[in-house]
Structure 1
Amino acid sequence: MAHPLIFQSRANSLAETAALAERLSELLKPGDIIALGGTLGAGKTAFVRALVRALAREDIDVPSPTYNLLLTYDFDDFCLYHYDLYRLEAPEEAFELDIDEAFDSGVSVIEWPDRLGRYLPEDHLRIEITAEDAGNSEARLFSFYGDDRWRQRLDDIAGHQNA
């Protein structure tokens, strides 16, 4: 079942993308699942990079997990599991990456979440990232989709976009 659109946010630069990621980072808690959609080069890894750096409160190295499929980052309140499932051949392969443990105790950020098929939990937040302007390589549109629980949690961020 697809969740309804909660809000959209335009970022015209990597700094604006980082600011949006920082606002989201303040809301995260164990058990959260963030599904990042978008085409190749849409900016999924750039968004995760900004999110991890906001959580770490420093400019740490955040590589793409394309070849590893999973990178983890330990923070005080939870472990963030950054999955890139592009190379997954079957949804069941995700269990070899302890994705069920991540869903239970950590914060999971998943690039190419559709590769999980029926194993992607219903209560996830979906963020679709779209390149916006051919003249500005950093411009992106972020569309946030989720259930009522996510709508309530994202209320401050959504309100900030309308201000």
Structure 2
Amino acid sequence: MTQRSATFRLPSSDATTELARHIARILVPGDVVLLQGPIGAGKTHFARSLIQSLMEVPEDVPSPTFTLVQVYNVATGELWHADLYRLSHVDEVEELGLLAAFEDAICLIEWPEKLEDLRPASALTMELSLDQDHDDARRAELMWTDASWDARLEGIAP
């Protein structure tokens, strides 16, 4: 499979929010978005913005750093937001119920490297990084191999 990618410069947190809203509109149950990047790169801000844009009445979206998984009901079904940073072994992924959620929920996964071989091949990966020249700016690179993302991501711009 050929990997494809698209890169976005996000000059502000508002630009990150806007990209999250655009991506939220194309997600369907069974989609997995893997959010990679160092601490402070904006993974949770992106996830929070995406989740709130899918809620009928936006509510507080806490980071799942300590709960590991937060589940939300959105118009298309369940949305799972997981932060795997605190996992000590890949077996814990199954215990959390994530493998089943990958099949029928929208899943946003922070620290996806903890999934090891359990990373869904059809996932959309977003690598967020800090812009060294501007404090609030970020860079987002979307990467995918599953051709189903091609048409859905066409025309998305922050």
TM-score, L = length of structure 2 = 0.93
Note the residue ranges of structure 1 that are not aligned, 5 or more in a row. Answer: none
Q: Is the 8 Å Cα contact of residues 12 and 136 (structure 2) preserved in structure 1?
A: yes
Q: Say which is worse superposed, 46-55 or 143-152, in terms of deviation.
A: 143-152
Q: In 2, Cα distance between the equivalents of 1:24 and 1:85? A: 22
> Runs of at least 4 residues of structure 1 off by over 3 A?
none
Q: What's 1:137 paired with? A: 135
Q: What's 1:38 paired with? A: 37
Q: Say which is worse superposed, 144-153 or 120-129, in terms of deviation.
A: 144-153
Shift of 1:58: 4.5
Letter in structure 2 aligned against 1:155: E
Change (3 A) 1:69 1:25: same
Q: Which runs of structure 2 are paired with 1:76-91 in the superposition (5 Å)?
A: 76-91=75-90
Q: In 2, Cα distance between the equivalents of 1:124 and 1:19? A: 21
Q: What's 1:17 paired with? A: 16
Change (3 A) 1:5 1:139: farther
* Superposed CA RMSD: 1.6
Deviations 1:29-50 (A, max 9, x none): 0000000000111110000011
Letter in structure 1 aligned against 2:92: E
Select the structure that is richer in helix.
1
Deviations 1:32-89 (A, max 9, x none): 0000000111110000011011111554211110001000110121211000000111
Note the residue ranges of structure 2 that are not aligned, 5 or more in a row. Answer: none
TM-score, L = length of structure 1 = 0.90
Letter in structure 2 aligned against 1:123: S
Change (3 A) 1:39 1:141: same
Q: Say which is worse superposed, 7-16 or 79-88, in terms of deviation.
A: 7-16
Deviations 1:117-138 (A, max 9, x none): 001111100000001134x332
Change (3 A) 1:151 1:101: same
Q: What's 1:152 paired with? A: 151
Q: Is the 8 Å Cα contact of residues 32 and 124 (structure 1) preserved in structure 2?
A: yes
Q: In 1, Cα distance between the equivalents of 2:3 and 2:129? A: 17
Shift of 1:100: 1.5
Q: How many residues align?
A: 157
Helix, strand or coil at the partner of 1:156: coil
Q: Is the 8 Å Cα contact of residues 6 and 151 (structure 1) preserved in structure 2?
A: no
Q: In 2, Cα distance between the equivalents of 1:76 and 1:26? A: 11
1:115 and 2:114 matched: yes
